[in-house]
Structure 1
Amino acid sequence: MSSLRNFDLNLLRVFETLIVERHVTRAAERLHLSQPALSHALKRLREALDDPLLLRTENGMQPTPRALELLPSVQQALALVQESLEPPAPFDPATSRHHFVIATTDFFEEVLYPPFLARLRPQAPNVTFEIALITDEVLQAGLERRQVDLVVGPEAVTGMPRGLVRETWMSEDLVCLAARGNAGIEERLSLAQFIDHPQVALSDISGLQHSKVDAWLASQHCQRRVISRNLNYMAAARVVASSDAIMVLPRQMARMFAKMLPVRPVEPPPGMPRLDMQLIQHPLYAKERPLEWLRQQLLDFAHDFDTSSALA
């Protein structure tokens, strides 16, 4: 009497081939086994199933009624396993209605997301996106629970669980922003001028990001004078536009605000760190075809964006 617990499932392929071929030599060739190895496997099958399965007769090797009874079920089981092991179908953005949730910063949402979405629309007209905030919950559980597909965030993100898939995505210059009417600010700031001016900074929500600017200043035994902390770049830029304060932000965002508000970009002190961004995924889903497609689109976009920025 056989049971799944002690039955070698590798023998199912041997059984199916033997019963279909009804010839030990041909079956051995199909299975790329030697005849002695196949004969040994047949012996094990007979013992496990308590049936001779295949016997020599005047009409050649013939399966027993028990073997013929088992054959359809075994073939169905093997076909199901083979189908399950086939690689997943390619992701077709032209027909897909997949919905992606991306947790990110307002820099990505305001500056990079609009051209990224415009780039994807022709090839993926029915794919939809949702932008979410990067929070502790997103990093600790949201990715694993599939509430968020991907995080596009700054490199200096703390408190992430181990094992998340992280890769460098894009690097952007940081510059300063000042009001157009701020006569005390020239086109470039020295380090002394930078720390002397009042500044607007972003709130460090949930402790997710250490300020690279403050860490850079601390390495030089300096500290800036922050008069206001705001939740997003737009609010901070509006404070700058109506005060004598300056702020630090990505260059592309400074250019955008200069078209919207009475502000202007100002070159920062030498040595100002860059904003490094990364893509963060959960390894449970990183190999899924839709996410592989989205990741590649983001990588291609970052490459082309960096190239066009360099040529600008």
Structure 2
Amino acid sequence: MSNRSTPPGTGRKLALVVLGLAALITTMLCAFALPSLHSGPHHVPLGVTGPRQTVEGLRDGADADAWDVRVYATPAAVRSAVEDRAIAGGLAVTDHGVDVYTATAGGPSATVALTALGDGVAAQHGAKATVHDLVPFTEDDPRGTGLTSALLPMIFGGIFPALILGSVFPGHRGLRTRLAGALLFSAVAGAAVTAVLQFATHSIDGGYAQSALGVILGMAAMSTTLLGLHAFLGMAGFALGGALMMLLGNPLSGLATGPHWLPTGWAALGQLLPPGASGSLLRANAFFDGTGAGLPALVLGAWVAVGIAFALLADRRGARTAVPRHPAPAV
């Protein structure tokens, strides 16, 4: 009868795995539940214009945690600020009533809250509120469903290349092939996803090339980061990257609601992660002609650099540890 003994260190490894999984599930719960529980307008930039007394009343009476009130001289200035993404929306109080300027494509939840605020101001003045949606979603997709649904394919577009290419081209010798394959996949898949959104579902407007380049950059940021972490840290790195993209990046992206609907700290973190930056870049290119695209593009470029850096470090380490093969001496 064979005597089976538990390998040394098994208990420690088991404890580490259990604790790691518990921490992962806890982080997942926090990332999904806490922002949702505290969702709502958070320091939404709001432009107001009108008679001095009315404007001062709006500025003093608005919830400071919900609205960042900014005063403009004319309704035209408010409209221009909305279109330039300097503010999320605005109210113009005139002799004819209250004009509410929104940009639904920039943040549908903020639009709903702003419309309700405009109705309340109009009721106080015994007037009527008129909503002007300056940057709406497309007529074929008025709720922005296609834009919101694009995030998961973009995230999986980062996860799948790192996983599949790692299986097809394993080890140190296949690292550069995996990196080239991830970048090539990002280009092909990004162009295809943008084509579907623009020409099949008609969910986005704007120039195709500009939007496609943004989606390609977003996929490249996710795929190179996961590939680099996988190459440098093994499956632990892949798991870390996947959790970062899916469990934190997805719920904190703010793509469905707009970033101002998440608590301030969560929103800032979400915009620094590839999913949030990718969504913001697509929104800017598809509906605002590139206005506001600079920061998310910079964030995504930084993630691409991080992923490539990890891959190069793994490549250098693999080159040092590789054992040279010498032909056997002739006898």
User: What range is the shorter-chain TM-score in?
Assistant: under 0.3
Q: Which has the higher strand share?
A: 1
Structure having the higher Rg = 1
TM-score relative to the length of structure 2? 0.26
